[in-house]
Every structure is written in structure tokens, then in C-alpha cells.
Structure 1
Amino acid sequence: MSSIAIVTDSTADIPREVRERLGIEMVPLRVHIGGEEYLDNVTLQPAEFYEKLRQSATLPKTSQPSPSDFYEIFKRHTDEGRAVISIHLSSAMSGTYQSALLAQSMLEGEGDVTVVDSKSASYGYGMMVVLAAELARQGVGRDEILERIGRLKRETKLYFLVDTLEYLHKGGRIGRASALFGTLLNIKPILTIDDEGYVNALDKVRGQKRAYARIVELLEADFGSGPVDMSAVVTPGRTEMADELIAVLKERFQVREYNRSEIGPVIGTHAGPGTVGIFFSPAARR
């Protein structure tokens, strides 16, 4: 077992088999829908969630883990002599990072715990968690792990497309008029996450094909013709837009490594079904 434990939360959207293989500890957020409370990616899986979302007249509510949820995991590892690196959803989107910090303070200096604000979401930081776990298993030290995941974050570009503006409107991200206007004119916002961890509309184009072309332009400006690693997160069920975009990118770029995962209930609450996120970074130098 590694001397460093890697902890994250459920919004990293890391596939279960990857978490289990690498020994990544995952603390779930909560989803409240239809009068019931569920644990994100534990008692409510993506496919079931999107079916419930389709049937729900109101937007589900989400809530962060409590500090005690993190404390129990931190304490167990530090009592066994391991350091902890805990990497979480952007603090601009959730109080999850703050809960982890409070749990760290509850240890009162009794353990070596580092809490990282990824300033990202979904597999945009899930890939950082996976890299950290791989390095920890190789015996790499804490400082080098933090430097390597920081470099990966700086080098990664991420773009999201949503199938409908309805859920951004329900979540208060845009006004009703903007949502209606976008739907009527088939406007596709190209979303990204800025350096402070906020979701921003980078561009708006009309129609899916133009959105694909614009993302290709952006990635060509970012990476040129060099080899890249690509990850995609999609919502289960309505994957047509995701499949088309992924095919376009695989044809255009030298993709050395490709990973795909599903957008879980918490992120899906705000993005809605039919969403696709694309993450590009220079080909791995592991």
C-alpha cells in the first residue's frame, strides 16, 4: 500500500473500476430528488438519475459532504501512518473544498493532510486525481505529486457543450429569456472553466456542426498538430452529440490516450442530459 492516500469527491466522475484499481477514496455529495436523498454515484448511478431527472418537474437539489465525512477518512489514513492528498471540486461551485479544509483542521496537526482546490469540475480534475493516485502507487513523494498535478491542470484545456439551455436556466446560470432565445435559434454555448474555477461561456454558435468546428479551432490553437491525450465525459442515454464530436476530434488530432466516463448526478443536475465535456492535454510524459 502507498504511503500517500488519495481522496476526492464524487463530482470527479472517475469510473468506479478506476477508483478501485488505484485505491482512490471517494466522498459522495448528496442529491435530493422526488422527496428522496441519494448519495451521488453510490446509491444513485448516472443512468437512474437521468431517468428521474426526465420525470421531475423541478430541478434536483445538491448538497456537499459534511466535514465529519472527510474527517473519518483522513483520520483512518493518518492513524495508519499515511499522508493524505485530498483533491476537490472547484470552491467557486461548491462548499465541498471548505468541508475538507474543516476536516483537516479537526485533526489539530495530528496528521499530514493536504487539501487541494482543483478549480475545475468533473473529469477536468478527475484526471488530476487519477494521476496523483498513479504517482502515489509508484512511490512518488507529496511535493512532486502536487507539482505534477498542478502542471497537468495548467496544460489541460476543457470545453463543454450542452444539449439544451433549460438546466442552466433552472439552476440560475442564465435568464429565462436567454434560454428561450437560445433554444429557438439553436444556439450552442461553448463553455469552459476559468482560472478561478467559474463556468464561463467562451463562445456561442448556431448549430451543432458549427459548435464542433469551433471547438476544433480552439484546440488547434491550443495544441497545433502535436500528440494529445483526450478524455470525454458524457451523460448516459442521449449521447449522439458526444459521439459525433468525439469522432470529429479523433479524426483531426493525434490522440495517444483516450478515456471516457459518465457525468454523474450532481454535475448533471446543473448541465442536463445530452452534455459532453472534452479535456485535452499534451500526450502523457509519465
Structure 2
Amino acid sequence: MTVAVVTDSTAYLPTGMAHAHGVHVVPLKVTLGQREGRDGVDMGPAEVTEALSDPDATIGTSRPAPAEFAAKYRELLAGGATGVVSVHLSRRLSGTWEAARFAADEVDPSLVRVVDSRSTGMGLGFAVLAAADAALDGSAGDVVEAAAAEVAARTRVFFCVDSLEHLRRGGRIGAAAAWLGSALAVKPVLHVTDGLIEPLEKVRTLARATTRMVELAERAAGQGAAQLAVHHLGAPERAKELVHRLADRLPAARPCLLSEVGAVLGAHAGPGLLGVVVVPPAVP
């Protein structure tokens, strides 16, 4: 009997990793024109990439309903879990955390703990894996919750996009809106900080943006066994090259995970997204 760990589909864990770690995933929803489906179940990166190629396409995303989370929590508790820790993407980017919080209050707030990772992608995923490891060790709910929060607090996320337009349409652009006028002349490098997507710097070429992300990742990782992940949307060769460059520059780091983002994050970032997630070693 252990604590069950729940997350949402925007963690974008590599294929099979959620199952291997006993993590339960509640998907967000994606609307492509007249079609609606579940992120990572009915709709994936290929579908959203195709839809984004049409400038007239209508694309939307939405959180799971609180009832979906409540049903999952009840199922896990009825199945013998001693508690649930539910870890989600930043509440400043989505209403998913809020939906999970409503569900926890409805089911039993003493048994269901909800964590805001203040990130997304593997910025969320590494926090989820930390919670899963603690749960598999037999830790109590408060310890599992703390493990997720501690890793989330150390995590850094850097990424570049071909265009800020998709982030603008989705209202996720934040202070980077000031760059829109020069967006055609630059490749923006962004990061997730304090739960929001914020501009970091502008560079002139895609190659320079990639090099800059390697430099930023190296600085964030430090000298120890950092955890690394690379994300992309429709850019597998660039992503593999980035993985190799990180391995060369950070030989002490753990093997880098590689994962294409799904429909929800892809809808907001657009094709050509390339990103690095870094969790530096904990300070003794």
C-alpha cells in the first residue's frame, strides 16, 4: 500500500516512463477545428503540427474537469492507495492545478495533496518522477509531496521557438510581447520562471539560439549529476543534436531524456520548438 502519484499530460514524460514509475496521467483536452480529443491519447504532436500549418485553423486547449480528477482520486484510494499526491503544470499557465485542488477538496483534502510544479514539460515531469520515487520507497504523503516540490524548485527550463505568434494567440507570452515587433528578425530564447513564460534574450539565428541554450544549461547544471531533458516539436534531428551537445559539455550529468511535446504545449509554442530542462544536483 503506497501513495499514488497523479499528473497531467503536459509532463510529456518519454514513452513508457509514466507506466514504469506507476504514475497516473489525467490528460488535458485539445480542440482542432471541430475535433476535440485528449492530449496524448486522441491527439498528439503530428495532429497539432498539421493543424498549425493552416493559418486559418482554430486551435484551443482546456483543463480536465474537476470531476475527472475526483474520479481518478477515488479510484486510486478505493484500490488501496494510502493517499494521493497530484502534481501539475503551473497554475499561472493553466487552470489544471485549480481543477485538481477542487477535486481534492471534494474527495478528502487530508488524503489528496496537490502540488504546483510552477513549470511544464519535464519541468513538471522531473518533479513527478521525484514524487514517484518517494512513493515507491514507501514514504508518507507529506514526504512525497515535499519531494516533488523540492525538485520543482530546483528545475530550470529554457526554450526557443520559431515564432512568438502561437504564444501570443494563446495568451502565454507574458513580457515577451514587447518583442513581437522584431520577431521576424530574431530567434527568442525564453525560460519558465516563477511559473510564467518570460523572455530571456534575443539572438539572430536558430544555430545561435541552440548554442545559447547549451550554455545556459551548462551554467544551471553545475558540476554534479544533473538531470537533463530535451523537448521538441517536429524537430527530431535538431533535438538529437542538442542531446549530443549536452552530453559533450556535461559528462557528469545523467543520461539526457528526449521527448517530443504533445498537442497542448505544441499548440501554444508551435512547430520548431526546442527546449532544455535542467535539474541541478541538490545542495548537501
- Which of 197, 202, 214 aligns to 1:216? It is 214
| 8 Å Cα contact 1:229/1:284 also seen in 2 | no
Cα separation, partners in 2 of 1:272 and 1:59, compared to 1, 3 Å: farther
Give TM-score, length-normalised by structure 2: 0.89
CA shift digits 1:161-199 (9 cap, x unpaired) = 11222312333437999445221x2x121111112x011
2:178 & 2:280 partners in 1: Cα distance? Answer: 39
Cα separation, partners in 2 of 1:50 and 1:241, compared to 1, 3 Å: same
Q: Alpha carbon RMSD of aligned pairs, Å?
A: 2.4
What SS class does the counterpart of residue 274 from structure 1 fall into?
A: coil
Give the equivalent residue in structure 2 for 1:144.
143
Q: Which amino acid in the other structure matches residue 122 of structure 1?
A: G
Give the equivalent residue in structure 1 for 2:164.
165
Q: CA deviation at 1:59?
A: 4.2
Answer yes or no: is 1:75 the counterpart of 2:69: no
Give the equivalent residue in structure 1 for 2:266.
268
- The percentage of counterpart residues that share the same residue type is 36
Matches within 5 A, 1:113-262: 113-172=112-171, 173=173, 178-179=179-180, 181-183=182-184, 185=185, 187-195=186-194, 197-235=195-233, 237-254=234-251, 255-262=253-260
| 8 Å Cα contact 2:213/2:276 also seen in 1 | no
Moved more, 23-32 or 151-160: 151-160
Q: Which amino acid in the other structure matches residue 265 of structure 2?
A: I
| 8 Å Cα contact 2:30/2:61 also seen in 1 | yes
Cα separation, partners in 2 of 1:225 and 1:39, compared to 1, 3 Å: same
CA shift digits 1:46-91 (9 cap, x unpaired) = 2233223323623411111111000101112223342000001110
| 8 Å Cα contact 2:232/2:275 also seen in 1 | yes
What SS class does the counterpart of residue 58 from structure 1 fall into?
A: coil
Name stretches of at least 5 consecutive residues in structure 2 with no aligned partner: none
Q: CA deviation at 1:143?
A: 2.5
Q: CA deviation at 1:222?
A: 2.7
1:101 & 1:90 partners in 2: Cα distance? Answer: 13
1:169 & 1:67 partners in 2: Cα distance? Answer: 27
Cα separation, partners in 2 of 1:15 and 1:209, compared to 1, 3 Å: closer
| 8 Å Cα contact 1:228/1:257 also seen in 2 | no
What SS class does the counterpart of residue 257 from structure 1 fall into?
A: coil
| 8 Å Cα contact 2:69/2:103 also seen in 1 | yes
1:280 & 1:108 partners in 2: Cα distance? Answer: 34
Give the equivalent residue in structure 2 for 1:100.
100
Give TM-score, length-normalised by structure 1: 0.88
1:217 & 1:278 partners in 2: Cα distance? Answer: 11
Name stretches of at least 5 consecutive residues in structure 1 with no aligned partner: none
1:72 & 1:223 partners in 2: Cα distance? Answer: 39
1:103 & 1:143 partners in 2: Cα distance? Answer: 18
2:52 & 2:45 partners in 1: Cα distance? Answer: 10
| 8 Å Cα contact 1:241/1:274 also seen in 2 | no
Answer yes or no: is 1:53 the counterpart of 2:52: yes
1:11 & 1:250 partners in 2: Cα distance? Answer: 25
1:138 & 1:199 partners in 2: Cα distance? Answer: 34
Q: CA deviation at 1:120?
A: 0.6
What SS class does the counterpart of residue 146 from structure 1 fall into?
A: helix
